[in-house]
Structure 1
Amino acid sequence: MKNQNRILYLLTRKRKYGLDEQEQQELDSWIGEDDSKKMLLKQLENQDKQHEVLQKFQRFASQQSLAEFKKHHINVVHSTSRLSTKTRPLIYWSVAALVLVCSTIALYFMADRHTTNKADELSIAAKNIAPGKDKAILKLSNGDYVILEDIAYGTSKNVNGLKIIKSSDGEISYEPSGNTELSVMVNKIVTPKGGQYRIRLSDGTRVWLGAESELEYPLQFAGNSRQVKLSGEAFFEVTRHKGADDVHVPFQLILPQQTIDVLGTSFNVSAYPNDPINRTTLVKGKVKVTTSHSSITLEPGQQALVVKNEGTLQINQVDVRNMEEWKNRSFRFEEESIQEIMKKIARWYDVEISYEGDVTTELFTGAVSKYENPSKVLKLLELTGKIKFRIEGRRIIVMS
């Protein structure tokens, strides 16, 4: 008997993007001579009959939650552009299929013993690998360090004339203590592997800092300049801000090999030193991305890719509906290779990654909860039929 989640994947992929020859054969084998399944497939092509089709499918997927399949079917992530389309076809994950909705739902129905044993092996091997959490070090301008986890929620700490405030939900902000001049102080917040943190800058701009990232910023913006530096990944909600002459002050983000100029907007940036590509994704507003060779102004729903070793700048159209989820509880992938995805998993779960054999060169798009055991993330990737994993201690081995 086929894995029902695999069938959901094939049905969704057929409807949205089409199947290759091998996948079509797999689906045809499942349908067989069953007239009701043939009718299901035909009706699935009709947008107006989705609800009816989903109800019918419940009879064929008795071990699968109808609600989960419904989300899987409707919320498939779509992108109209790709970084390299000639040699690297895309695999699209459903957001709902990748976000684990309820522990009582049988997320995977492994009908044959081999598949069940494989799932159990991953779960057992990953039981001691925990997801990341809020943790970071604050490097003060005078060289002192503050471990932010040591500050209790809803309290503050005074350090060398600086009042560090942690809100009840864990966001860091500042107030001067005494006669401290904040505009001359430049701090840096650093997250390790397995860490993340939130900070509110002096102008009200909010920043969600990802794992293994650094943000450098003045404690108080002065004059007609708002400039910060980033290494790693962060989501920004930039406020509009007026200077002394009542003129709007632009916000500028400095990255390796590029700058981003902002007036007031929400956007995500991924710019890790060892990654070959910097990605800037605009959710709302407008930003200008500049390299030494060119500049591009992004509109909402666009993503700028800076290819570091070439110095080139490209634009992709992307689905940003799940982008803001990254701030709180989700990974998100936009047409990324398995190597790029595994780097994110390595940073968040603080694990090592190695490869055996020639792994797939296909690209993946989708979102997945950050707070699940890594085995569940890996099993969801395995559903595509393009990749397999093995876990040994704190090392994840990627196999073809």
Structure 2
Amino acid sequence: MNNQKAKHLITKFLTHQASIADLDELEIWLQDPKNEHLFNSYVQTNYAVEFEMRQFEANDLKRNLQELMVEEKTTIRLKKWRQVISYAAAAVFAGLLVTGYFLKDDIFNKNIETTPRIVNNNIEVGSNKATLTLEDGSQINLEKGTSYQMHNAKSNGEKIEYIAEEGNKTKLANNILTIPRGGMFHLVLADKTEVWLNSESQLKYPVNFIKGDTRKVELVYGEGYFVVSPSTEQEGSKFIVSNQFQEIEVLGTEFNIKAYKNEKNIYTTLVEGKVSVSTVTTKIVLEPSQQANLNLNDDSIDIATVNVDSEISWKNGDFSFRRKPLGEIMKVLSRWYDIDVNFEVPELEKALFNGALGRDQNIEDILNTIKNFGIIKDYEIINKTILLK
């Protein structure tokens, strides 16, 4: 069996499209030790692996794969009437599931044969960069490879850190940190609260806090991950994150807020501790692993239990998508790569994708992964605009 056919069978296995004959052939191929490296490399390079599952031993991977193939064969025999097999295995491959609505052999083969049209691809991977606006309105560009320092703050181009000033201040001076499309940045406030800001985000905050008073910052728009310095270390002062639609009160916790411009939902995800989410009409309290979804159309709040690691994967250098529509996924990618995305067929926006991808990958690698699983047939890149077909 040649390598191309092996890759085809691996894809069919991972998406539960393989027949018993396919699995038998793949199992025989894997018994040859020289094929183990190709298998590991192919899966890790070309296919989405849930980020928490990326650390594994090759021997364990091979053994678990063979165990899962046995389970797959048994399931096929018992449930031939089902087109797509749904099961959750406790082995390493439990997190390696990538699916699309339209994955069929003929589509997969077409994807292999077609070559994307690429004209002047100047799309760059996102990086650490931000614009710092001082109280007097002056602006400073922060980016990787540069440094900045003033009396109460310093930056190495990847993080800006404020130093608490002694004395009880009676007037607060505010700075604004703005993250452009294609950027992210790490901020340490004067009280040691840490904030990671995602692409296309803006945070307004005091350069110093008044001891004993409520600490308040404003997520003007975008997405931020907060690790809040406990109130017990700040003379009991509470910490509040606000925007124009809601206010979040915390005592000492970790949470993520996603409140992008021109979107009708704000998501608050609690990692540790406890927070209250308040609007003009509603107030709810979140427990760890819960997510509040504020619908701006009717001011209603829904609460759901979510996979926290998936929701905050951007902070750790990953995209993690759990049965997300392609339209929503491309919004995320467009911010990180600073691109425009169009769909040749509107129905493509509803196709689901499940898996994780590295934020350090170039855009062509990510698009090829989505294409190889049959979610799209092909794509075009012209300058910084992508057309999905």
Partners of 1:126 and 1:289 lie apart in 2 by 46
Change in CA separation of 1:62 and 1:396 when aligned onto 2, cut-off 3 Å: same
Change in CA separation of 1:4 and 1:275 when aligned onto 2, cut-off 3 Å: farther
1:373 aligns with 2:362: yes
Change in CA separation of 1:5 and 1:380 when aligned onto 2, cut-off 3 Å: farther
Tell me which moved more, 229-238 or 327-336.
Answer: 327-336
Tell me by how many angstroms 1:293 deviates.
2.9
**C-alpha contact (below 8 Å) 1:210/1:234 kept by paired residues:** yes
Count of residue pairs brought into register by the alignment: 335
* TM-score (norm. length: structure 1): 0.71
1:131 aligns with 2:158: no
- In structure 1, the residue matched to 2:146 is 152
Partners of 2:247 and 2:380 lie apart in 1 by 40
Q: Deviations over 1:68-122 (max 9, x none)?
A: 4899599789xxxxxxxxxxxx9x9986678xxxxxxxxxxxx98853453x536
- In structure 1, the residue matched to 2:342 is 354
1:225 aligns with 2:220: no
- In structure 1, the residue matched to 2:39 is 64
Q: Deviations over 1:55-80 (max 9, x none)?
A: 76999998522894899599789xxx
Partners of 2:49 and 2:11 lie apart in 1 by 12
Tell me by how many angstroms 1:215 deviates.
0.3
Partners of 1:312 and 1:351 lie apart in 2 by 32
- Alignment-mate amino acid for residue 314 of structure 1: D
- In structure 1, the residue matched to 2:258 is 270
**What pairs up with 1:163-202 in 2 under 5 angstroms?**
163-167=152-156, 170-175=158-163, 184-202=172-190
- Which of 116, 131, 148 matches 1:121? 116
What secondary structure, in the 3-state scheme, does the structure 2 residue paired with 1:359 have?
helix
What secondary structure, in the 3-state scheme, does the structure 2 residue paired with 1:288 have?
strand
- Which of 3, 10, 35 matches 2:8? 3
- In structure 2, the residue matched to 1:234 is 224
**C-alpha contact (below 8 Å) 1:182/1:218 kept by paired residues:** no
**C-alpha contact (below 8 Å) 2:108/2:372 kept by paired residues:** no
- Alignment-mate amino acid for residue 277 of structure 1: N
- In structure 2, the residue matched to 1:394 is 384
What secondary structure, in the 3-state scheme, does the structure 1 residue paired with 2:309 have?
coil
Change in CA separation of 1:175 and 1:317 when aligned onto 2, cut-off 3 Å: closer
List runs of 5+ in structure 2 lacking aligned partners.
55-85, 99-106
- Alignment-mate amino acid for residue 281 of structure 1: T
RMSD: 4.1
Tell me by how many angstroms 1:392 deviates.
2.1
- Alignment-mate amino acid for residue 14 of structure 2: Y
Tell me by how many angstroms 1:135 deviates.
0.9
Tell me by how many angstroms 1:237 deviates.
0.9
Q: Deviations over 1:255-285 (max 9, x none)?
A: 2321111111111111002112111122222
Partners of 2:29 and 2:251 lie apart in 1 by 45
Tell me which moved more, 385-394 or 219-228.
Answer: 385-394
* TM-score (norm. length: structure 2): 0.72
What secondary structure, in the 3-state scheme, does the structure 1 residue paired with 2:180 have?
coil
- Alignment-mate amino acid for residue 209 of structure 2: F
Partners of 2:170 and 2:338 lie apart in 1 by 35
- Which of 294, 299, 315 matches 1:327? 315
Tell me by how many angstroms 1:235 deviates.
1.0
- Alignment-mate amino acid for residue 9 of structure 1: L
- In structure 2, the residue matched to 1:258 is 246
Tell me by how many angstroms 1:390 deviates.
2.5
Identity over aligned residues, as a percent? 29
Partners of 2:347 and 2:192 lie apart in 1 by 44
Q: Deviations over 1:117-153 (max 9, x none)?
A: 53x536x558531111111110111111111238834
1:290 aligns with 2:278: yes
Change in CA separation of 1:237 and 1:355 when aligned onto 2, cut-off 3 Å: same
List runs of 5+ in structure 1 lacking aligned partners.
12-26, 41-52, 78-89, 99-110
